[in-house]
Amino acid sequence: MLYLKKGFVIFVLVMTFLGIIAGCSSTTNKSVSKDGTIKLRMVESITSPARTKLLRGMLDKFEKENKKIKVELISPPLQSADDKINQMLMAKEDIDVLEVREQTVKNFSNNKFIVDLSPYTNKWENWNTLTETIKHGATAVDNKPYYIPYGVYEKTLFYRKDWFQEAGLEVPKTWDDLVNAAIKLTDPAKNRYGYSFRGGAGSPDYIEFMTWSYLGKKINPKDAYFTQDGKVIFDTPEAKQVLDTLVKLYKKASPPDSISWSYPEMVQGFTSGMTAMLIQDPEVIVTSEENMKKGTWATAPIPKGTPSGVAQQPAGTAGWGIGAFSKHKDAAWKLVSFLSSPEENLFFAKNNSLIPIHLSAGDDPYFKEGYFSSYIEMNAKPDEFLIADRPVEYKGYADYRAFAVKDIQSLLLGKMSEEQALAKWTDFWKKEKENKK
Amino acid sequence: MKTQTETVTERSLPSFSISRHGLFIFLCLLPALLLVTVFIYYPLFKGVVMAFQSYSLFDLSNIEFIGLENFKTVMADSAFKESLINSFYWVFFSLLPQFLIGFIVALLLRRKFRGRGIYQAFIFFPWAMSGFLIGLIWRWMLNGQAGVINDLLIKLNIIDTAIPFLADPTWAMVSVIVANVWYGITFFAIMILAALQSIPDELYEAAKIDGANYIQQLFKVTIPYILPTLIVTTLLRVIWILNFPDLIYSLTNGGPAGSTHILSTFMLEKLIYGQNYGQAAAVGVILIFILLFFSIFYLLATKFNKAGDF
């Protein structure tokens, strides 16, 4: 009986541990089935029901062309997708293909979550047909291609053509024009405002590209939060001009609630007919086409700074990379190169409202004419519309983006002065620079 | 079967021995214990350890122990101090109305009347909703331009121009608290109603015979009888209100300018936007200590032991 008891104890302990171990490692060795079919796991980040469906369709096509490969698509909810991907990679899960973004590529490569794709891209026939912006984005970290972008997110100006015509206004070319037009179009009694202001999450992005636009070629293109002569960009008279412009724009031409607006509210504000102007990424083109009458709206290049006379913004890229813990890296590359081929990418970009990655897409009438033409116009004038890189190589960038939102709101509420905000940001970036050395 | 001597030797062993019955109970508890250890105590421990490390998502290959550095950085942050003060307002002004209104609702529901079941279901409905969803609903209702609340107030001629509920720091705090009160009344109503139903009717009959009116019955019979429930539910609610970030996170996300941040949403911000797990963990540890001290102080102050066992 005593033996039986011991046996029972051991039995229970073993079963419990087996249970826990099995629960933790359910994915081992399932990726190859008996008949040699490989199962790839792919995780996307900027998810939406429509995009997931589109992507699934492309994956089905890939599976048809490659009978021995199956792809499982994992689509976490948008809000927490990047966190989810991080957690999966921290747990060393064998993700084969994952969505890598300009904002996450540095983290991922630092932590050795993704692999350098140069062994593959060296032999890839389509590498040389990529546009310069895409090559630039792909190799932004350590000069190595860590991912192949599927498109570019660049901002453009959306405006209410009908309201502008009614008021006899010209489409703004500079930020000063924009502020004046916005004020003229504002009429709170009619619940009509000039500008879809962003005061909530993501607002530091607007400070960033406006300051770059105002400073123009004074910034250091390799280290864009600093000027050519080594000053922090916020330590300049131009930065003060930017904050003046923003405060005026908020107080005189934007809905009061927009102090907490972020992406969905800004877009909703424009498409629902509350605001006359919006500066946003190309995917808003599809949303506007769905929700607004044709002819009531149009797009234009983003406004320029004064006195620089140029506009300067980051070219946000997102794309597909290969996970470091993948067991089928060659098959994963097959999938990445399939998704990045000129035909597939053109299809994805068109349906997802993005600027495509290959040079050949410029000839496509959809992008040459219509709402995308503002992008083509900006691309055609590289001296007036410059591209700068976000300081993703700095550890404090995420932290800055978090607290600057609060500072901008404090500024708009009058709880903080422009000088205080600029001094705070300048100090922060000075320290970042010192710590990085 | 054991022989007589075996039993005797077993008995003469040092006092650390478990009877067969005890062992059986232990084995039955083991799976649960292991699960709780793996999924609750291990993360808790890991979180406390993280608070002393330079744990940032930016570079996970370079994690070191940095002593109290995270605590120093967090405490020096003016946003932390603001969140701490906000936490106090948030808990106090949410709890008091929740408790009072919940109590009144429970007293009203105690009497039998027609349709009580349906009425009860309506009252208890908010409790079944997620805080996140409630935040989103209130966010649209309170919208300064298109919100239904402003629209109603204007149509009723109470105000002329729309109130920027979520854009003005003071109004934003009022808004999140109102939403939280609306959400939490139900909890008190359910718990207090359950306690009320356990009071024997004889007590009231005796009180009536002694000539006690309704108010006297309330203070001499009802409240003393359910006091332990009141103390425990209040304590639980304080812990929840302080800990749960979901409502504020979805309603204002701590804005504008940090004016509605409480400690738990401040922690989330460090985690999600700042990607600094070490500092977020430090805020978490501070939060645990605050709650621990509060609980001890509260239970001592209410002389919980004398209030009867629960």
Question: In sequence order, what DSSP letters do the residues of B244-256 get, joined into one string?
Answer: --HHHHHHTTT-S
Q: Do A260 and B253 touch (CB under 8 A)?
A: yes
| Separation between Cα atoms, residue B270 and residue A380, nearest integer Å | 41
Of all helices (H) and strands (E), which one includes residue A354? none
Sheet (strand A316-322) strand order: A69-74, A38-43, A97-101, A316-322, A148-153
Smallest CA–CA distance, residue B79 to chain A, in Å, is 9
Which residue ranges of chain B lie beneath pLDDT 50? 1-2, 5, 7-10, 308-310
* Chain A residue at shortest CA distance from B165: A257
Q: Chain A contacts of B167, Cβ < 8 Å?
A: 256-260
Of B60, B144, B274, the CB nearest to A398: B274
Predicted confidence (pLDDT) per residue in A381-407, tens digit? 888 998 888 898 888 888 898 889 989
Predicted confidence (pLDDT) per residue in A289-311, tens digit? 889 999 999 999 999 998 899 99
User: Residue holding tokens 């425990």?
Assistant: B232
pLDDT confidence band for A69 (50 / 70 / 90): very high
* Chain B residue at shortest CA distance from A86: B57
Of A86, A112, A259, the CB nearest to B256: A259
Q: What are phi and psi of A169, to 5 degrees?
A: -105, 150
Of the two residues A317 and A370, the one the predictor is more confident about is A317
What per-residue confidence (pLDDT) applies to A14? 67
Of the candidates B121, B135, B149, the one whose C-alpha atom is nearest the C-alpha of residue B255 is B135
**What are the C-alpha distances in Å from B61 to residues A90, A109, B56?**
11, 11, 10
Cβ count within 10 A of residue A162 = 15
- To test the contact with chain B by mutation, choose from A406, A411, A416 the residue with the greatest count of B C-beta atoms within 10 A, namely A406
Q: What are phi and psi of B199, to 5 degrees?
A: -80, 125
Q: What are phi and psi of B7, to 5 degrees?
A: -60, -40
Token readout for A35 is 């008949």
C-alpha distance across the termini of chain B, in Å: 43
Is residue B3 helix, strand or coil? coil
Helices (H), A254-369: 263-271, 283-291, 329-339, 342-352, 365-368
Cβ count within 10 A of residue A63 = 16
Sheet (strand A275-280) strand order: A193-195, A275-280, A156-160, A297-300
Q: Chain B contacts of A8, Cβ < 8 Å?
A: 27
* Chain B residue at shortest CA distance from A259: B167
| Separation between Cα atoms, residue A230 and residue A223, nearest integer Å | 10
User: Residue holding tokens 């009252």?
Assistant: B123
Q: Do B79 and A406 touch (CB under 8 A)?
A: yes
Cβ count within 10 A of residue A358 = 19
A357 near A341, Cβ under 8 Å?
no
* Chain A residue at shortest CA distance from B143: A257
| Separation between Cα atoms, residue B144 and residue B142, nearest integer Å | 6
CB pairs below 8 Å between A and B: how many?
Answer: 112
Of B23, B168, B255, the CB nearest to A200: B255
- To test the contact with chain A by mutation, choose from B60, B160, B170 the residue with the greatest count of A C-beta atoms within 10 A, namely B60
Q: Chain B contacts of A403, Cβ < 8 Å?
A: 79, 274
B83 near B263, Cβ under 8 Å?
yes
Q: Chain A contacts of B61, Cβ < 8 Å?
A: 110-112
The radius of gyration of chain A from alpha carbons, rounded to an integer in Å, stands at 25
Q: Give the count of alpha carbons within 13 A of B128, CB side only.
A: 5
Smallest CA–CA distance, residue A177 to chain B, in Å, is 26
* Chain B residue at shortest CA distance from A18: B31
Of the candidates B226, B206, B261, the one whose C-alpha atom is nearest the C-alpha of residue B103 is B226
Of all helices (H) and strands (E), which one includes residue A132? helix A132-138
Question: What is the residue type of A271?
Answer: T
**Range with top average pLDDT, A47-56, A102-111, A339-348:** A339-348
Query: How many residues are present in chain B?
Result: 310
Mean pLDDT of A268-279: 93
B122 near B301, Cβ under 8 Å?
no
* Chain A residue at shortest CA distance from B250: A79
* Chain B residue at shortest CA distance from A415: B257
Evaluate if residue A5 carries a pLDDT over 70.
no
pLDDT confidence band for A91 (50 / 70 / 90): confident
Q: Do A395 and B258 touch (CB under 8 A)?
A: no
Of A110, A200, A399, the CB nearest to B274: A399
Smallest CA–CA distance, residue A149 to chain B, in Å, is 21
What per-residue confidence (pLDDT) applies to A214? 95
What proportion of chain A, given as a percentage, has pLDDT over 90? 55
Query: How many residues are present in chain A?
Result: 437
Q: Chain A contacts of B256, Cβ < 8 Å?
A: 199, 259-260, 409, 412-413
* Chain B residue at shortest CA distance from A8: B27
Whether the model pTM is above 0.90:
no
Token readout for A227 is 């000027």
The radius of gyration of chain B from alpha carbons, rounded to an integer in Å, stands at 26
Of all helices (H) and strands (E), which one includes residue A312? strand A311-313
A211 near A233, Cβ under 8 Å?
yes
Residues β-bridged to residue A317: A152
Question: What is the residue type of A428?
Answer: F
Q: Chain A contacts of B255, Cβ < 8 Å?
A: 199-200, 259-260, 405-406, 409
User: Residue holding tokens 């900027």?
Assistant: A46
A202 near A262, Cβ under 8 Å?
yes
pLDDT confidence band for A83 (50 / 70 / 90): confident
| Interface list for chain B against chain A, based on CB atoms closer than 8 Å | 1-2, 20, 23, 27, 30-31, 34, 38, 56-61, 79, 143-146, 161, 164, 166-169, 252-258, 269-270, 272-276
User: Residue holding tokens 């300048």?
Assistant: A426
| Separation between Cα atoms, residue B161 and residue B163, nearest integer Å | 6
Question: What is the residue type of A305?
Answer: G
Token readout for B109 is 């529901």
| Separation between Cα atoms, residue A243 and residue A210, nearest integer Å | 9
Q: Which long-range contacts (CB under 8 A, 24 or more apart) does A2-7 make?
A: A2/B2, A5/B20, A5/B23
Q: Chain A contacts of B29, Cβ < 8 Å?
A: none
- To test the contact with chain B by mutation, choose from A6, A16, A205, A259 the residue with the greatest count of B C-beta atoms within 10 A, namely A259
Predicted confidence (pLDDT) per residue in A215-224, tens digit? 999 999 889 9
Q: Chain A contacts of B138, Cβ < 8 Å?
A: none
Cβ count within 10 A of residue A343 = 10
DSSP state of A188: G
Mean pLDDT of A120-127: 92
Is residue B248 helix, strand or coil? helix
Predicted confidence (pLDDT) per residue in A47-61, tens digit? 888 889 999 999 999
**What are the C-alpha distances in Å from B115 to residues A111, A256, B119, B237?**
61, 45, 6, 29
Q: Chain B contacts of A272, Cβ < 8 Å?
A: 146
Which residues, at least 6 apart from A101, have a Cβ–Cβ distance to it below 8 Å?
Answer: A45, A46, A82, A316, A317, A318
ipTM score here? Answer: 0.70
